[in-house]
Amino acid sequence: MLFVRRAPAASRKTYIVGSTATGVPFTFIDVKTNTLTGAMVDIMKAIAADAGFQIDLRATAFGALIPSLTTGKIDIISAAMLKTPARAKVVDFSEPVYSYGAGIVVPVRFPRAYKNIEDLRGVAVGVQVGTRFFEQLQAAGVKEIKTYDNLMEMLGDLSVGRIGAAYGDAPIFAYQIAQAKIQSARVAKEFQPPSVEDVCLVVRKGDSELLNRINTSVKRLKTTTIKAILDRWGLR
Predicted local distance difference test score (pLDDT) of residue 182 = 83
Mean pLDDT over each residue of the chain, to the nearest integer: 92
pLDDT for 7 equals 44
CA distance 179 to 158: 17
pLDDT (tens digit per residue) in 204-224: 999 999 999 999 999 999 999
Query: 160: which residues sit within 8 A by CB, 6+ positions away?
Result: none
Superfamily of domain 100-196: Periplasmic binding protein-like II (3.40.190.10)
Beta carbons of 209 and 107 less than 8 angstroms apart: no
Common-topology check for domains 9-97+200-232 and 100-196: yes
Residue 199 host element (H or E) = strand 196-199
> Residue 183: what pLDDT?
86
Q: How far apart are CA 2 and CA 12, in angstroms?
A: 21
For 4-30, what is each residue's pLDDT tens digit? 444 443 345 999 999 999 899 999 999
What pLDDT shows up at residue 95?
98
Which secondary structure element, helix H or strand E, spans residue 202, and what is its range? Answer: strand 202-204
Q: How confident is the model at residue 121 (pLDDT cuts 50, 70, 90)?
A: very high
Torsion of CA 202, 203, 205, 211, to 10 degrees: -100
pLDDT tier for residue 151 given thresholds of 50, 70 and 90: confident
Closest CA to 145 of 133, 153, 155, 156: 133
Is there a contact between 37 and 28 (Cβ–Cβ < 8 Å)?
yes
Q: What is residue 12's predicted lDDT score, i.e. its pLDDT?
A: 55
Where are the chain's structural domains? 9-97+200-232, 100-196
- What single DSSP character describes residue 222? I
Domain 9-97+200-232 has CATH 3.40.190.10: yes
- Expressed in angstroms, the distance from the first to the final Cα of the chain is 19
Q: Which residues contact 217 (CB under 8 A, 6 or more apart)?
A: 4, 46, 47, 50, 51
